[in-house]
Amino acid sequence: MLFRLPASNSLLRLIVEILPSPKEAQAYRAEKLYNGPLDDEAGMAIKLCSAEGPLMLYVSKMVPNLEGSRFYAFGRVFSGTVYSGQKLRILSEVEPREASVQATVLMMGPSVEQVSSFPAGCMVGLVGVDQYLLKTGTLTTCDSAMAFHQMKYTVAPVVRVAVSVANAAHIGKLAEGLRRLSKSDPLVQTFLSPSGEHIVAGCGELHLEICLKDLQDDFMKGCEIKVSAPVVSYCETITAPTDMTCVAKSANKHNRIYLTAEPVSEELCAAISDGKFDIEARDHEARKQQSTRLHKEFGWDANESKKVWAFGTPL
């Protein structure tokens, strides 16, 4: 006998009966969520899921409204209470900013309903802070609060295409549409290549197809776009030091270069990925500081740390 269960009712019941409540879960998840010490004001409030503590809210996604011109900042309240007209600080990818919440809304699929306030443990949509956020960020009323850890993904945007407009008069709409597309999807990447092409990168062909459809139909209001053939980035690496030495000779045969390879430590890779280690250092003082950090923090040989030509990162 075959039983068909409505997916929405089944998922809702599983969430209610299986998942722990925010008050219970945050007690042991706080150290993995918060970037600061757990014994400060914000850390304690997060751990207790306190509605009376300072506001700590993490915005995980920007959701476009029906017109596609503005975005709801969708996230979760980990402590405190957020309400319409509230003044707060935004700890985003760029410098901290002061902002005011114009409205707080309950998001139910494609529809929204305005609610005056949301206490700790709730999911909320905010109106009026989208101009200060690129993709994600931490919102708080505590001056000493640190940001939440950024979300980590198991996939990366490795499939890319070049997009252009069929009508040259729509080039402005393409630039604005790409900006909105990048804001609405945490995983998509949009940038201008050195050759002047507008590039859209996604996590696979299906993801890219959905992004391009949203770009043309929603963010560019139906303006026709032209899309190049997809290109996949292949990234290879090594897991152990090489047991052979490569030799290259100069054109006049008077000079030789001997080359071996070994993997970079996981700590250095993590520091580069998290933006805690500047690989774009150019001036002498910055390169000197970079060399010192490589030696003291990551265990590099003092002489080798001074001979770094460049860092290679995936395209």
Model pTM? 0.69
Residue 106: inside a domain: yes
Residue 19: inside a domain: yes
Residue 237: inside a domain: no
Asked if 36 and 127 sit in the same domain, the reply is yes
Asked if 98 and 13 sit in the same domain, the reply is yes
pLDDT at 161: 92
The residues near 117 (Cβ < 8 Å, ≥ 6 apart) are 81, 82, 83, 84, 104
Asked if 17 and 134 sit in the same domain, the reply is yes
Mean pLDDT, the chain, whole residue set: 86
Q: Residues of the chain with pLDDT > 70: what percent?
A: 95
pLDDT at 285: 84
Over the stretch 47-72, which tens digit does the pLDDT of each residue have? 999 999 999 999 998 888 877 678 89
The CATH number of the domain holding residue 167 is: 3.30.70.870
Last residue of a domain, one of 205, 232, 259: 232
Asked if 11 and 135 sit in the same domain, the reply is yes
Q: Give residue 287's identity as a one-letter amino acid code.
A: R
The three-state (H, E, C) secondary structure of the chain, written as one string: CCCCCCHHHHHHHHHHHHCCCHHHHHHHHHHHHECCCCCCHHHHHHHHCCCCCCCEEEEEEEEECCCCCCEEEEEEEEECEEECCCEEEEECCCCCEEEECCEEEEEECCEEEECCEEECCCEEEEECCHHHCCCCEEEECCCCCCCECCCCCCCCCCEEEEEEECCHHHHHHHHHHHHHHHHHCCCCEEEECCCCCEEEEECCHHHHHHHHHHHHHHHCCCCCEEECCCEECCCCCCCCCCCCCEEEECCCCCCEEEECCCCCCHHHHHHHHCCCCCCCCCCHHHHHHHHHHHHHCCCCCCCHHHHCCCCCCCC
Last residue of a domain, one of 179, 206, 232: 232
Q: Is 98 exposed, middle or buried (0-12, 13-18, 19+ CB in 10 A)?
A: exposed
- The predicted model gives 181-209 an average pLDDT of 89
94 falls in which pLDDT band (50, 70, 90)? Answer: low
Lookup: tokens for 164? 């252009």
Residue 1: inside a domain: no
Structural domain of residue 107, as residue ranges?
7-140
Q: In this model, does residue 198 exceed pLDDT 90?
A: yes
Q: In this model, does residue 223 exceed pLDDT 50?
A: yes
Over the stretch 99-145, which tens digit does the pLDDT of each residue have? 899 999 998 877 889 999 999 999 999 998 888 888 888 999 998 88
pLDDT at 315: 43
Least confident of 13-27, 90-104, 241-255: 90-104
Asked if 60 and 107 sit in the same domain, the reply is yes
Least confident of 100-104, 208-212, 234-238: 234-238
9 falls in which pLDDT band (50, 70, 90)? Answer: confident
Number of domains in the chain: 3
Residue 222: inside a domain: yes
Q: In this model, does residue 1 exceed pLDDT 60?
A: no
**Contact between residue 245 and residue 261 where contact means Cβ atoms under 8 Å apart:** no
The CATH number of the domain holding residue 254 is: 3.30.230.10
Asked if 180 and 133 sit in the same domain, the reply is no
Residue 290: inside a domain: yes
Over the stretch 282-305, which tens digit does the pLDDT of each residue have? 778 888 888 888 888 888 888 888
Could you tell me which residue, 80 or 185, shows the higher pLDDT?
A: 80
pLDDT at 68: 64
Angle (nearest 5°) at CA 37 between 36 and 42: 75
The CATH number of the domain holding residue 61 is: 2.40.30.10
pLDDT at 93: 63
Residue 238: inside a domain: no
- The predicted model gives 180-197 an average pLDDT of 87
Asked if 47 and 165 sit in the same domain, the reply is no
* 175 CB-side CA count, 13 A: 7
Residue 239: inside a domain: no
